[in-house]
Amino acid sequence: MRPDGGATHLRREADVATYLAQCGAPVLGPSPLLPAGPHERDGRWMTFWPHIDHDDSRAIAVEEAAALLRQVHEALAGYDGELPLVAPVLVEVPQIIATLEEQGAISASDADALRGAWSALAPEVEALGPIQALHGDAHVGNMLVPRGGEPLWSDFEDACVGPVAWDLACLRFHSSAFGDRALEAYGTAVDDRQLELCLEARRLQSTAWTCLSAHRWPEFAERAEARLATYR
Question: Domain residue spans in the chain?
Answer: 7-229
Residue 34 is predicted with a pLDDT of: 86
In this prediction, residue 4 carries a pLDDT of 56
Q: Which CATH class is domain 7-229?
A: alpha beta
Query: Residue 33 is which amino acid?
Result: L
Q: What is the pLDDT, as a whole number, of residue 28?
A: 96
Q: How far is 49 from 28, CA to CA, in rounded Å?
A: 8
CB within 8 A of 169, min separation 6: which ones?
Answer: 195, 198, 199, 201, 202
**169 contacts 201 by C-beta, under 8 angstroms:** yes
> Which residues does 59 contact at the CB level (< 8 Å), separation at least 6?
none
Say if CB 198 and CB 165 are below 8 A apart: yes
The per-residue pLDDT string of the chain (232 residues; one tens digit each, 9 = 90 and over) reads 554 558 888 999 999 999 999 999 999 999 989 888 899 888 889 999 999 998 888 889 999 999 999 999 999 999 999 999 999 999 999 999 999 999 999 999 999 999 999 999 999 999 999 999 999 999 999 999 999 999 999 999 999 999 999 999 999 998 888 888 999 999 999 999 999 999 999 999 999 999 999 999 999 999 999 999 999 8
| List of long-range contacts for 194-199, beta carbons under 8 Å, 24+ apart | 194/128, 194/163, 194/165, 195/165, 195/168, 195/169, 197/121, 197/124, 197/125, 197/128, 197/165, 198/125, 198/128, 198/163, 198/165, 198/166, 198/168, 198/169, 199/169, 199/172, 199/173
- Computed on alpha carbons and rounded to an integer, the radius of gyration of the chain in Å comes to 18
Question: How many degrees, rounded to 5, is the angle at CA 224 between CA 220 and CA 227?
Answer: 145
Whether the CB-CB separation of 118 and 202 falls below 8 Å is answered with no
